[in-house]
């Protein structure tokens, strides 16, 4: 079973959050990689009807153009698309555009019609991407694996990847006693490992996406530390799978890598919570939705925690003032999503988390760049 994923880049999210169209539809669906796609396609059609019904007074031509965009995925020719899915599907459409992302995270179904996109659930895939790469690195072999939840690992072909340390530096053996610039013994071996690491890093840059997908290394010392010193991939996980990866199966390595990854995510979240507690003592936090709408509008939010399933109907005006609406009577993407949009555009860090991981368990919480006036 293969999970087909499309993790959004920062620039793609930037484009989505800046949309302000005459009509915009956001649809989130639960999908299953083992499915034929028939159930998902039916759920999509239902979501399209639900979202279009929320648009209200929209020009007929714009409404028809939007419906035509959404119908692209309903067509029989898209059957192959529905057979190749991950855990969730996010679709965003206007009368002139259609974007979709297959996500490894499990997201709650939503269908929203308005003038902006509902982007917050999509941010979960950026905050804690469930897909990852594992680099099994040894002196005698290298292999790159891709892993997603509930699916077997897949080995990734990497053009120009060196096969081992010795051949990568033109030697018959890493223990070759010929001097390298007068370096011999362990110093010479470490130099060759560094040369090898630079070649591995260069090869990886041709296949790694470089937009938030973590890379976990499985290696022993000193090669682990040497590779880290030369690796330029921005999402290299600071902890490694211990032990020599040679002779170990892909499944075993990936299982251990996911344990490393889960621990790293948990550590990052706990550190963010500790920072929130410290900022609280300095008067630099807020958990109030209306207050945070004003702070986000002013660019005062430093880090924003958001419950990805939060639904707070209403509108935020240009000055950041909130008008709440009754449930099921408002067609906008909602107050919380608008807070997240404004915070994102001001350069704030966004953490799209489950409700239990939002400080004090509300819809939203934030640390601020400065303490507001008393």
- Tell me the per-residue pLDDT of 92-150, one tens digit each, with 9 for 90 and over: 999 999 999 998 888 999 999 999 999 988 888 888 877 899 999 999 999 999 888 77
pLDDT at 189: 87
Tell me, yes or no, whether 273 lies in a domain: no
Does the pLDDT at position 3 exceed 80? Answer: no
Bond before 222 cis per omega within 30 degrees: yes
Whether 260 and 363 map to the same domain: the answer is no
Mean pLDDT of 154-162: 93
24-43 residue pLDDT tens: 999 999 998 888 889 999 99
Whether 154 and 208 map to the same domain: the answer is yes
Tell me, yes or no, whether 2 lies in a domain: no
Mean pLDDT of 310-338: 83
218-253 residue pLDDT tens: 999 999 999 999 999 999 999 999 999 998 999 999
pLDDT at 97: 97
Tell me, yes or no, whether 5 lies in a domain: no
Whether the full predicted model's pTM is greater than 0.85, yes or no, is no
Whether 230 and 326 map to the same domain: the answer is no
Domain boundary among 77, 108, 127: 127
Whether 312 and 350 map to the same domain: the answer is yes
pLDDT at 203: 95
Domain boundary among 127, 162, 194: 127
Whether 18 and 76 map to the same domain: the answer is yes
Whether 198 and 301 map to the same domain: the answer is no
Tell me, yes or no, whether 155 lies in a domain: yes
Closest to 98 measured CA to CA, from 42, 41, 16: 16
Whether 146 and 252 map to the same domain: the answer is yes
Whether 103 and 186 map to the same domain: the answer is no
Tell me, yes or no, whether 48 lies in a domain: yes
Whether 22 and 104 map to the same domain: the answer is yes
Domain boundary among 108, 127, 146: 127
pLDDT at 183: 46
Mean pLDDT of 280-287: 96
The rounded mean pLDDT for the chain is: 89
Does the pLDDT at position 51 exceed 70? Answer: yes
Question: What pairing do the DSSP bridges indicate for beta strands 110-114 and 97-103?
Answer: unpaired
d(CA 105, CA 26): 17
Whether 120 and 56 map to the same domain: the answer is yes
Domain of residue 54: give its range.
10-127
CATH number assigned to the domain comprising residue 289: 3.30.1330.30
How many domains are there within the chain? 3
CATH number assigned to the domain comprising residue 88: 3.30.960.10
pLDDT at 210: 61
Tell me, yes or no, whether 4 lies in a domain: no
Whether 234 and 191 map to the same domain: the answer is yes
Given the structure tokens 């008393």, which residue do they identify? 374
Whether 96 and 25 map to the same domain: the answer is yes
């Amino acid at each position: 079973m293969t999970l087909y994923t499309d993790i959004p880049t920062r620039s793609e999210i930037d484009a989505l959050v800046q949309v302000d169209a005459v009509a915009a539809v956001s649809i989130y669906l639960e999908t299953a990689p083992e499915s034929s796609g028939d159930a998902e396609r039916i759920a999509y059609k239902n979501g399209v009807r639900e979202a279009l019904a929320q648009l209200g007074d929209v020009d007929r031509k714009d409404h028809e153009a939007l419906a035509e965009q959404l119908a692209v995925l309903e067509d029989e020719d898209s059957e192959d698309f529905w057979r190749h899915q991950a855990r969730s599907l996010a679709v965003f459409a206007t009368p002139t555009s259609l974007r979709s992302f297959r996500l490894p995270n499990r997201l709650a179904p939503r269908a929203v019609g308005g003038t902006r996109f509902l982007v917050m659930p999509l941010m979960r895939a950026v905050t804690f991407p469930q897909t990852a790469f594992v680099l099994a690195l040894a002196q005698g072999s290298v292999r790159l694996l891709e892993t997603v939840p509930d699916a077997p690992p897949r080995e990734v072909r990497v053009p120009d990847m060196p096969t081992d340390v010795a051949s990568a530096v033109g030697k018959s053996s890493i223990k070759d006693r010929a001097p390298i610039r007068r370096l011999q013994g362990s110093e010479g071996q470490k130099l060759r490992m560094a040369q090898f690491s630079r070649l591995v890093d260069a090869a990886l840059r041709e296949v790694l996406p470089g937009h938030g997908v973590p890379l976990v290394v499985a290696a022993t010392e000193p090669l682990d530390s040497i590779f880290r010193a030369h690796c330029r991939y921005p999402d290299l996980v600071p902890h490694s799978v211990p032990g020599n990866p040679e002779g170990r199966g892909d499944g075993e390595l990936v299982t251990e890598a996911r344990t490393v990854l889960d621990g790293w995510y948990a550590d990052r979240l706990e550190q963010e919570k500790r920072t929130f507690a410290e900022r609280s003592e300095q008067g630099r936090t807020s958990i109030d939705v209306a207050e945070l709408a004003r702070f986000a509008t002013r660019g005062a939010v430093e880090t924003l925690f958001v419950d990805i399933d939060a639904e707070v109907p209403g509108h935020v005006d240009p000055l950041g003032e909130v008008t709440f609406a009754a449930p099921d009577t408002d067609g906008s993407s909602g107050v919380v999503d608008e807070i997240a949009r404004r915070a994102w555009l001001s350069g704030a860090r966004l953490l799209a988390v489950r409700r239990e991981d939002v400080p004090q368990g509300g819809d939203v919480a934030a640390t601020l760049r400065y303490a507001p006036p008393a």
